[in-house]
Structure 1
Amino acid sequence: MNEKELAGWFPQARLSREAGENTLALGDGRYLNLADADLTERERYLLSLLSHPQEQKPSSPWQSYLQGQGSLPQVVEAIQFVHVHLWSQKEAQLDAWQTMMTDLLPSQVAQVQLTDQDYLFILEQGTWMDYQSLLADTLSALEFDFGLRLTLLVGQVWPRQLADHWSQLYQAEADLFAQWRAHYHQSTVLSFSQLFLWGQGRAGLELGLIKASMLELIDQQDMQDIILSLWTEGAVVTKTAQVLYIHRNTLQYRLDKWQDMTGLQLKDLTDLSFCYQVLLDRIY
Structure 2
Amino acid sequence: MNLRELFPEAVVNQKEKMGQGWLTQPLGDQYIHFPLEALSQREQALLDLQEPQSALQASGEDAWHQFLVQKKGGLPTKLEGVQLLYLEHGFPLSSDLLDLFYGLFPHLTALVELSSTRTVLVLDQTTPFEVETLVQDILPAVENDFGTKLTIFFGNSWTRLQAEELRQVFDSEYQLFSDFVRFKGSEQTISFAKMALWARSGQLNLGVIPEKIRHYIDESKDMADIIEAMWISQTNLVQTAQKLFMHRNSLQYKLDKFHNLSGLNLKNLDDLAFCHLLILNG
Q: Give the structure 2 partner of residue 234 of structure 1.
A: 234
AA aligned opposite 1:215 = R
Displacement of 1:253 in angstroms is 1.0
1:78 to 81, 99, 102: 81
Match in the other structure for 1:209: 208
**2:104 aligned partner, one-letter code:** L
1:254 matched to 2:254: yes
Q: Deviations over 1:132-161 (max 9, x none)?
A: 111111111110011110101110011114
- Displacement of 1:262 in angstroms is 2.8
Query: Where do 1:1-284 residues align within 5 Å?
Result: 60-67=62-69, 68-88=71-91, 94-161=94-161, 163-186=163-186, 188-202=188-202, 205-222=204-221, 223-282=223-282
Structure 2 gaps of 5+ residues are 1-60
Structure 2 distance, partners of 1:234, 1:201, is 20
Write the distance in 1 (CA, Å) between the matches of 2:237 and 2:267.
8
Contact 1:162–1:213 (Cα < 8 Å) also in 2: no
Counterpart-to-counterpart distance in 2, 1:79 and 1:161: 9
2:42 counterpart residue number: none
Matches of 1:115 and 1:270, distance apart in 2: 30
TM-score for both structures, normalised by structure 2: 0.74
CA distance in 1, matches of 2:114, 2:234: 41
| Equivalent residue number for residue 7 of structure 1 | none
What is the aligned-residue RMSD (CA, Å)? 1.9
Displacement of 1:185 in angstroms is: 3.8
SS in 2 for 1:234: coil
Deviation at residue 173 of structure 1 after TM alignment: 0.4
Residues 19-62 of structure 1 show CA distances to partners (whole Å, capped at 9, x for unaligned) of xxxxxxxxxxxxxxxxxxxxxxxxxxxxxxxxxxxxxxxx7111
Q: Kindly, what percent of the aligned residue pairs are identical?
A: 32
Q: Shift of residue 120 of structure 1?
A: 0.8
Cα 1:208/1:130, change in 2 over 3 Å? same
Judging changes above 3 Å, is the alpha-carbon distance between structure 1 residues 278 and 236 closer, same or farther for their aligned structure 2 residues? same
State whether residues 91 and 116 of structure 2, in contact with CA within 8 Å, keep that contact through their aligned partners in structure 1: no
Contact 1:127 1:260 in 2 (8 A): no
- Name the larger-Rg structure: 2
Partner in structure 1 of residue 15 of structure 2:
none
Q: Distance in 2 between matches of 1:185 and 1:97?
A: 23
- Matched letter for residue 95 of structure 1: S
In structure 2, relative to structure 1, the CA distance for the partners of 1:122 and 1:99 (3 Å cut) is same
Task: List structure 1 runs of 4+ shifted beyond 3 angstroms.
Answer: 161-164, 184-187
Count how many residue pairs are aligned between Structure 1 and Structure 2: 221
Mapped partners of 1:186, 1:102: distance in 2:
27
Q: Assess if the C-alpha contact under 8 Å between 2:199 and 2:205 holds in 1.
A: no
CA contact (8 A) 2:213 2:262 kept: no
- Aligned-partner Cα distance in 2 for 1:164–1:236: 38
Kindly indicate whether the alpha-carbon contact (under 8 Å) linking 1:136 and 1:188 is maintained by their aligned counterparts in 2. no
Instruction: Please give the alpha-carbon distance, in whole angstroms, between the structure 1 residues aligned to 2:237 and 2:163.
Output: 32
1: distance between equivalents of 2:101 and 2:186? 20
Deviation at 1:70? 2.1
Q: After superposition, what is the alpha-carbon deviation per residue over 1:50-92, rounded to whole angstroms, capped at 9, x for unaligned? A: xxxxxxxxx7111121132221111111111000010356xxx
- After superposition, give the CA deviation of every residue in 1:153-209 in whole Å (9 maximum; x if it has no partner): 110011114554110111100000001101234451111111000111535x32241
- Give the counterpart letter for 2:213 in structure 1: M
Q: Secondary structure at the match of 2:90?
A: strand
Compare relative contact order (CA 8 Å, sep 6+) and give the higher one, 1 or 2: 1
Residue pair 1:172, 1:210 contacting (<8 A) in 2 also: yes
